[in-house]
Amino acid sequence: MAGTTHTVTNQPPPLTGYDVYAADRALKEAVERHIHPDLLDEVHGELGALGRACGSAQVQEWGLQANENPPRLRTHDRHGHRVDEVEFHPAWHRVLGKGVSAAGPAPADTYGERRPSCCGRRSTPATAARCR
C-alpha cells in the first residue's frame, strides 16, 4: 500500500454518514404536499431510513463503481447468435436492490380519497379511472 506524501487541504472531506432525504428540503416539501397527511409520519420514517442508507459510505462506493462500469449491451454470443443482453456490474444490482427493497409494497391509497388525474386536475378515484 502506498504511503501518503502530503496532506490535501483544498478538497472537502468525503460526504458520507448523513441522511440525504433530510438534507433535501425541496424533496421533503414535495412529499408533504403530495402524500396524504395520515401517512406522512410513516413515509418520512421510511424515506429517512433510505436517505441514511444512501448517505452511507458503502452505498456511495457502490454508486462510484456503478458509474465507472456502465451497462454493456451484448447483441451476439461468441457463436454469432443474437442474444440482446445487457451486462451490469454487480454494484448496479446492489444499488438498485437497496432502493427497491426500501420501497416495499406501495400503500393501497397513497393519496387518500383524492388522487391526481392524468389531466393535471385533482380527482376522485372514480373519475381517475377514466384517464387510464
pTM above 0.95, yes or no: no
What is the spatial distance between Cα 38 and Cα 5, in angstroms, rounded to a whole number?
A: 56
Could you tell me where the beta strands, DSSP code E, fall in 1-100? 72-76, 82-87
Per-residue pLDDT of the chain (132 residues; tens, 9 = 90+): 567 788 888 988 888 899 999 999 999 999 999 999 999 999 999 999 999 999 999 999 999 999 999 999 999 999 999 999 999 999 999 998 888 887 766 555 555 554 444 444 444 444 444 444
What is the spatial distance between Cα 67 and Cα 60, in angstroms, rounded to a whole number?
A: 11
